[in-house]
Structure 1
């Protein structure tokens, strides 16, 4: 069973190809009647756990009280905007709400172009499916939308900004804390500042996860000019925002959409952020991720399979020595009752901590079945090139543990 026949969108879900029937906490029941532990978590947007009572009850109260409106501003819009701006700590910041991360990233590009009068945008990471982000097929060549990718390689960023001095409106990057060290984010920030270009931290994936708002200022040592948030905001309800410098955000005045006044996602976001703040959620989410990563590494060690676990926080990645081994592993982990995001990041929720031992046992069962199918394996390891490929799947860019010359050569092979 896969997607409904008349839906064209090719979104891949973990094997087996089954339909979701119900969900609660860290588990999803599928149409085979089995309960699976979920590490996809809505591609990372379910941070508290499925159907968390704090969020469900807040939305139910809101609806039963006839408070929902799609016509006017509400006090809750202002309350959430104030909270996000305060969490970020960027002096004088302003904010615009949207439905999806893709919309927020598109808005970042538009306001930067309006504020600077420049057209080119330099990008690293995934910012949505819009035409702005289509590849050009050539290294450091702009696509038809005027976007040039530098793949998180500082040398490439410096080169492209020097080559197009005075033409670049924005550098937009999605900070990765699994395959990138803080020193690399610091270098990227310093290069952007040296060239006098606006910087957008696209925190759709990582924001409001291990830290209220963004971890980027701590990692990079400085604030970006703009930030996008989405996945961590509302425990799976559809909401995003663009927040940043007031002079730049002024250009977003006319950026409206039909559901702008919908209060239900706002209520879900307030309930989510309230719960995270009052219950030490950001630290607990990071601690759960670290415990899961450590437990998985011990399971891998006992299995003697060439598999690496990358990451020590709310997101991690499971990478085998070959893509073929990856597929065998995913199939057996699914059979053992784990929903994994194939080839990409695994995301913990606060509810993951409640099933940690069970999760590790299911992972061990999956790896044991993998080892039985593959038979004896000669001693090997995950190669630097394989890690580069894994990072490319997770963050659309190169890990900084790979020398820049190798990364650039392998990037060219991918184009």
Structure 2
């Protein structure tokens, strides 16, 4: 049994769905006594590896020294705020700290509405579990909380901006670099700019992973007004922030919570970001992901198993030709000692570098198992419909690998 019976949260854990006993770097020991290699990494929030000494020692030193308290500001807040504001690239950037990515995204919406005086949010991607993001009653219609989803399709964003002209407070996108081209993301920013609408890059997932801050400006040549960060900040400790244009972020001045002054997550974030900066961490994460993706594609080609690797790291995704093959892939991975985020993105950490040879050896056995179990599928392509479903499962939107008209038709059928 994985989840305690008293806890209602249905949070998915990877096969074989056992409890963790011990973790270090890329290795997790589960309650069956076996050691597994982790590519889920806390849904991508563990960027250095489990219990990284730089982070653990910084937190333990803070506790031993009784540094900071839950009553007042302490120096680490100012140091971390200066780093994040500079990394954002927004002139004069200011920020607000929160505990989770969901909170930071909610703050972005409230700030945009208060600043603009407009009620609607044009959104693409996952921004948390709050009721802000509930399903709308119809395609391109606002939900009960004034959010209109355009599913990462520029043509749909154009329709939304025109249909609700003068009522959109902000366009909010969680940028995806696995299923979307830079041109598509850049077009979304420019459409918002043309209408004079705020643009928020929700970088809770991708921020501080391939670069310090957001990859959006470097990838698209476009700067956002606001950014949300969380997963890459503190190697798994609870911390998030909203950063950006001061006139907008200042609307968050009364958004606070009881543990706002808790300095331990801030200490963890400083240790994480300083280690990444000092040890070429972002460059290494990108290189490790690319090496893993390339090795996996070579194994797949050799085995003939129709599984596609989407992305080149540090996030990637597996897509099988059939649902049965997908199920068998995750089951085989668990048997071979791999912890994967089922049907979603896999995330490398710096610790993945150390286990790459063993990781590839285990994946080789996985694909050998699948080749034996699915001989009739050998050499078959992965249908585009499967890739569309995989993209939606990972980013709540449509891949741009198909013409916009086809993506819109697929979305309309899916949402009907």
**TM-score by structure 1 length?**
0.99
Does structure 2 retain, via aligned residues, the 8 Å contact 1:334–1:366? no
Question: 1 CA distance for matches of 2:121 and 2:24?
Answer: 41
Corresponding residue for 2:105? 105
In structure 1, the partner of 2:94 is: 94
How far does the alpha carbon of each residue in 1:291-324 deviate from its partner, in whole angstroms, 9 at most, with x for none? 0000110111111011110111210001111122
- TM-superposed CA distance for 1:137, in Å, is 4.1
CA contact 1:173–1:202 (8 Å) conserved in 2: yes
Cα shift at 1:149: 0.1
State whether residues 124 and 152 of structure 1, in contact with CA within 8 Å, keep that contact through their aligned partners in structure 2: yes
Question: In 1, distance between residues paired with 2:316 and 2:402?
Answer: 18
SS in structure 1 opposite 2:96? strand
Q: Are 1:182 and 1:219, in contact at CA under 8 Å, matched by a contact in 2?
A: yes
Instruction: Output aligned runs, 1:166-205, within 5 Å.
Output: 166-205=166-205
Superposed displacement of residue 378, structure 1:
5.1
Deviation string for 1:200-257 (max 9, x for gaps)? 0000000000000011011221210100000000000000000010000111000001
* Counterpart residue number, 1:151: 151
Q: Quick check: 2:175–2:185 contact (8 Å CA) kept in 1?
A: yes
Q: Are the equivalent residues in 1 in contact too, given 2:306–2:321 (CA < 8 A)?
A: yes
For 1:2 and 1:413, locate their aligned partners in 2 and report how far apart those are by CA, in whole Å.
Answer: 36
* 1:3 corresponding residue in structure 2: 3
Aligned equivalents of 2:365, 2:137: Cα separation in 1: 42
Give the secondary-structure state (helix, strand or coil) at the position aligned to 1:219: helix
Asked if structure 1 preserves the Cα contact closer than 8 Å seen for 2:41 and 2:348, the reply is: yes
| Superposed displacement of residue 17, structure 1 | 1.5
User: CA offset at residue 361 of structure 1?
Assistant: 0.8
Could you say which residue in structure 2 is the equivalent of 1:389?
389
Distance in 1, Cα, partners of 2:17 & 2:225: 42
Q: Distance in 2 between matches of 1:394 and 1:123?
A: 15
**Shift, 1:375, TM fit:** 3.4
| Closer/same/farther in 2, CA of residues 240 and 326 from structure 1, 3 Å limit | same
Matches within 5 A, 1:323-402: 323-377=323-377, 379-402=379-402
Q: Deviations over 1:122-147 (max 9, x none)?
A: 00000000001011142101100000
Q: Number of residues paired by the alignment?
A: 415
Q: What's the CA shift for 1:368?
A: 1.4
What's the offset of the Cα at 1:14? Answer: 1.1
| Preserved CA contact (<8 Å) 1:333 1:367 | no
Gaps (5+ residues) in structure 2?
A: none
Distance (Å, rounded) in 2 between the aligned partners of 1:118 and 1:46: 37
RMSD of the TM alignment (CA)?
A: 0.9
The equivalent residue for 2:72 is 72
Summarize the alignment of residues 251-262 of structure 1 with structure 2, pairs less than 5 Å apart.
Answer: 251-262=251-262
Cα deviations by residue, 1:270-294 (Å, 9 ceiling, x for unpaired): 0000000000000000000000000
Q: Following superposition, which runs of at least 4 residues in structure 1 exceed 3 angstroms of deviation?
A: none
Report if the CA contact (8 A) 2:329-2:366 is conserved: yes
